[in-house]
Copies of this chain bind each other. A is one copy, B any other.
Amino acid sequence: EPTPAAAPAHLKIAVVPGDGIGPEVVAEAERVLDAVTAAAGVRVEKRRFGLGAQHWLATGETLTDQTLEELRAHDAILFGAVGAAPGDRRVPSGTLERDVLLRMRFALDHYVNLRPSRLYPGTTSPLARPGDIDFVVVREGTEGPYTGNGGVLRPGTDAEIATEVSLNTAHGVRRLVRYAFELAARRERRKLTLVHKHNVLVHAGRLYSRLVEEIGAEFPEVAVDYLHVDAATIFLTTDPARFDVIVTDNLFGDILTDLAGAVTGGIGLAPAGNINADRTAPSMFEPVHGSAPDIAGRQLANPVAAILATAMMLEHLGLPEQAARIEAAVQQDLAEHGTEARSTAQVGDGVLAALA
């Protein structure tokens, strides 16, 4: 990934609080963002965008061309979560996922879906012996079974046939795999695991294997191995510490990162970056968790994932020291307070205190 030459003096950030707990966790993320950028003398210009269920109910709009154009004028997007209240049938199922989240990923060419997993001191894994977990999933973001290809013949009948088509291109896999190798080469353990199911999905599997082999030749310092996706879930519960960088397709990455979030203490802690590594459009940073309408508005949500997403955003924008400061502050706060019951704002206070 070509990083900005110099640290920026000025950032334009699009903020999308969204629905449910989104606004609460984004509020804490913004406080942290403001604190570290102010300390670094970086001016941050923010603009808020309404997207999600509430926005849809109010306007009938998902993500319009115009909003996309306006988003493009920013350096990055800080995103909360979108989703209707459970049982609210006014928003058709799948609409927000496809017409907001996936539309944004595809339109802004977020081809790397970057999802780090760490088990921080003070957090509790459901695993009895989790070990020292610190890996990153590099998930494809613009291809695979997510392209909306496929269809249905004779819908609603006894002779119905429904297809889903996974599209995989050398263009798409190559840039993903290159990103993953570059990341692995910068990390301490320099290990890359390709996860696929090439014994069954032979065509896509062969493409991934070929490009990992080809690009891997440029990175002799990175050790490469391969796991079928089913076996990968076993290792994620029996020995997650074995992983360093995992590179995988869009759907497998979706599944593995939720599992990874679970074994590292909950997706309340897991951030994600939807990255356009060519920087032809702004990248988007978000917590992996959803809008959790059941606990919304009650200061019960954990803002750590949103705060860590902010750190990823700053790293991407050429402010790695500020990103590291946030990471360190989160770690310190978690080590001090562990899983003790605190309000969303109290966790934000804790991280700000650790920053100071």
Chain B residues near A152 (CB-CB < 8 A): 203, 206-207
Q: A198-B94, A237-B126 are known contacts. Are A160 and B166 too (CB-CB below 8 A)?
A: no
Q: Is the interface of A mostly helix, strand, loop or mixed?
A: mixed
Confirm or deny: A229 has a beta carbon within 8 angstroms of a beta carbon on chain B: yes
- Cβ 8 A contact of A126, one of B102, B150, B161, B238: B238
Are A160 and B170 within 8 A (Cβ)? yes
A-B contact pairs, 30 of them (CB 8 A): A94-B198, A94-B200, A94-B202, A126-B237, A127-B128, A146-B200, A150-B166, A150-B201, A151-B203, A152-B203, A152-B207, A155-B206, A158-B170, A160-B169, A160-B170, A160-B207, A161-B167, A162-B206, A162-B207, A163-B203, A163-B204, A197-B251, A233-B233, A233-B258, A233-B259, A234-B259, A238-B262, A238-B266, A255-B255, A259-B259
Q: Which residues of A pack against B, CB within 8 Å? A: 93-94, 97-98, 102, 125-129, 145-146, 148, 150-152, 155-171, 174, 197-204, 206-207, 210, 229-231, 233-234, 237-238, 251, 254-255, 257-259, 261-263, 266-267
Are A267 and B234 within 8 A (Cβ)? yes
Are B255 and A234 within 8 A (Cβ)? no
Q: How far is the CB of A145 from chain B (nearest CB, A)?
A: 6
In whole angstroms, how far apart are the Cα atoms of A307 and B233 in the complex?
24
In whole angstroms, how far apart are the Cα atoms of A204 and B198 in the complex?
22
Q: With CB as the reference atom, state the residue of chain B lying closest to A230.
A: B258
Are A230 and B255 within 8 A (Cβ)? yes
Are B200 and A102 within 8 A (Cβ)? yes
Q: How far is the CB of A134 from chain B (nearest CB, A)?
A: 18
Q: With CB as the reference atom, state the residue of chain B lying closest to A128.
A: B128
In whole angstroms, how far apart are the Cα atoms of A158 and B237 in the complex?
37
Chain B residues near A171 (CB-CB < 8 A): 158-159
Q: With CB as the reference atom, state the residue of chain B lying closest to A159.
A: B170
In whole angstroms, how far apart are the Cα atoms of A247 and B344 in the complex?
37
Chain B residues near A210 (CB-CB < 8 A): 156
- Cβ 8 A contact of A237, one of B97, B204, B251, B263: B263
In whole angstroms, how far apart are the Cα atoms of A237 and B240 in the complex?
13
Chain B residues near A158 (CB-CB < 8 A): 170-171, 174
Closest 9 CB pairs of A and B: A230-B258, A162-B203, A160-B170, A233-B259, A164-B166, A97-B199, A128-B128, A234-B262, A162-B207
Q: With CB as the reference atom, state the residue of chain B lying closest to A164.
A: B166
- Cβ 8 A contact of A169, one of B161, B164, B201, B255: B161
Chain B residues near A266 (CB-CB < 8 A): 238
Q: How far is the CB of A200 from chain B (nearest CB, A)?
A: 6
